[in-house]
Structure 1
Amino acid sequence: RKGREQQQEFERRNTSLAGLPTFPIATSARQSPPPPAQPPMEIQCSWCGDEGPEGSARAFVKGPDPMSITLCANRLQSLEEVEEVLVHELIHVYDVRVRKGSDALDLRQCDQLAYSEVRAAREAECFNSSRFTKAYCVRDRAAVATSNMFPKDGRHCVAQVYEEAMKDLSPFNNSDRDVGKKTSIHYPPHSEK
């Protein structure tokens, strides 16, 4: 019975993802040719284990070829959490897939992972932190995440890239958002079955 209830809850959460909002990407005033076609990227929900790269993560990126985002259905309790982890993981996807040439990040390198983790923490977990606590929140979340892959060097890598990464607001620009003020999002109601 417990397994059936968990499966029903998983299916309910999975169907409620259809109404999630999209996020604007900064565009240049100059018209440039469209980027080369990229292979499609999946976003999937699954039950996540307690070991390996899944560890205690709420979501993670697989890739780079093919690239996908896995949401851990057994660790996400609300649409707000789903939104937060999607923003976090999509920052990583942007850093790996959308940045051009030498600006593209290789998240298998400690300093580049740390750079992306600082940006992702700033836009997701720490977005609503006060000005006073934001720096601590971002440093801590980025160090914990980077240390999962680089236990000995994670904190040091974050310290090295922190200032530069905090200034990098791509793919957003200041006209797209009021930095530090989250836009309220209204989700469509979901029906209980």
Structure 2
Amino acid sequence: MSAQAGPSTASGSTSPTESGTTPAFDKWRKSLAEFTGLGLSPEERADRDARMEQGKLAKDWDRCEKMKQDLMVSSPMIVFMLKHLKLAGCEFPASSMQCHPCDETRAGGFSPDYGILLCQNRFMNKKHMEDTLAHEMIHAFDHCRFKVDWNNLRHHACTEIRAANLSGDCRFSREFQRGNYAFSKQHQVCVKRRAVLSVQAHPACKTPEQAEQAVNEVWESCFKDTMPFDEIY
């Protein structure tokens, strides 16, 4: 009479460990601790948080780069601006538009020395990036065309007016998302408001009144200047 085989342990998932639990249960418990941080020592939690942050940064960067590369070939607005930057003598390769993490106060930025910053952790979707990139590319175009003095509040006000006016940043749908529902001259109101806020953040600007004065002084000429567009986008 042949002996009967006992319960199979080939998978290694049902054999109890010294603690009385199974390897499968221990693996689940460890993954839960990794996810929640519960049961980890301060050192283990710090290591786990650092790894999770690095993983999120890499994921955000990959998403940002993918959207940027796609916009450079598929967005009429971005393709148009790339063309006119090149015609103005300031070609903008992909390497001049860098994805980096930012705080919650911004979605992008422009520096004459470093190019365009795209805040990889701040974009709601590709359309949000398109508007942001267009805004910063108008700053780049103005810097190339006019040699903007970024320490001059009037110069800064003018390019902020143009960027808000032409980038799509003040289209009705964006304003609706911000909770601004007025219909009478809503576009102009948005452009002026956003230009004032940007100038107000300038280190040389001491008061909100000074920012508003700078915007008002250049408003008429800068709002009418739609270059390189024939009209407001």
TM-score (norm 2): 0.60
5+ long unaligned stretches in structure 1: 28-33, 51-55, 181-193
Identify if the C-alpha distance between structure 1 residues 136 and 147 changes in structure 2 by more than 3 Å, giving closer, same or farther: same
| Aligned with 1:73 (options 113, 120, 139) | 120
Q: Please give the alpha-carbon distance, in whole angstroms, between the structure 1 residues aligned to 2:131 and 2:88.
A: 27
Distance 1:39 1:86 in 2: 12
Tell me which structure has the larger Cα radius of gyration.
2
Q: Residue deviations 1:111-135, cap 9 Å, x none?
A: 0000000010112311346663111
2:106 — aligned with what? 57
- Within the alignment, does 1:24 sit opposite 2:66 as a pair? no
Amino acid at match of 2:64: R
Q: Deviations over 1:38-72 (max 9, x none)?
A: 6967100101246xxxxx12111122xx3410111
Alignment-mate amino acid for residue 80 of structure 2: P
In structure 2, the partner of 1:167 is 224
Residue 199 (structure 2) aligned to one of 139, 146, 168: 146
For 2:68 and 2:186, locate their aligned partners in 1 and report how far apart those are by CA, in whole Å: 31
What secondary structure does 2:201 align onto?
A: helix
User: Which of 119, 137, 143 pairs up with 1:96?
Assistant: 143
State the distance in 2 between where 1:157 and 1:60 align.
Answer: 20
Distance in 1 of aligned mates of 2:213 and 2:129: 29
> Normalising to structure 1: TM-score of the pair?
0.71
Distance 1:14 1:134 in 2: 31
1:65-110 deviations in whole A, cap 9, x for unaligned? x34101111211210111011111011101111x1xxx43222210
Matched, 1:47 2:101: yes
Q: Is 1:134 aligned to residue 187 of structure 2?
A: yes
Alignment counterpart, residue 7 of structure 1, candidates 58, 81, 104: 58
Q: Structure 1 residue aligned with 2:162, among 94, 112, 119?
A: 119
Provide the rounded CA distance (Å) in 2 between the counterparts of 1:135 and 1:37.
Answer: 29
Question: Residue 60 of structure 1: SS of its match in structure 2?
Answer: strand
Q: Which protein has greater RCO, CA pairs closer than 8 Å, 6+ apart?
A: 1
Q: What's the Cα RMSD here?
A: 2.6
Aligned residues: 158
Gaps of 5+ in 2: 1-50, 176-182
Aligned partner letter, 1:115: C
CA distance in 2, matches of 1:5, 1:36: 37
Q: Percent identity?
A: 24
Native 8 Å contact 1:58 1:72 kept in 2: yes
Corresponding residue for residue 83 of structure 1: 130
Quickly say closer, same or farther: Cα 1:134–1:36, change in 2 above 3 A.
closer
* Residues in 2 aligned to 1:6 and 1:36: alpha-carbon distance in whole angstroms: 34
Q: 1:38 to 1:132 in 2, by over 3 A?
A: closer
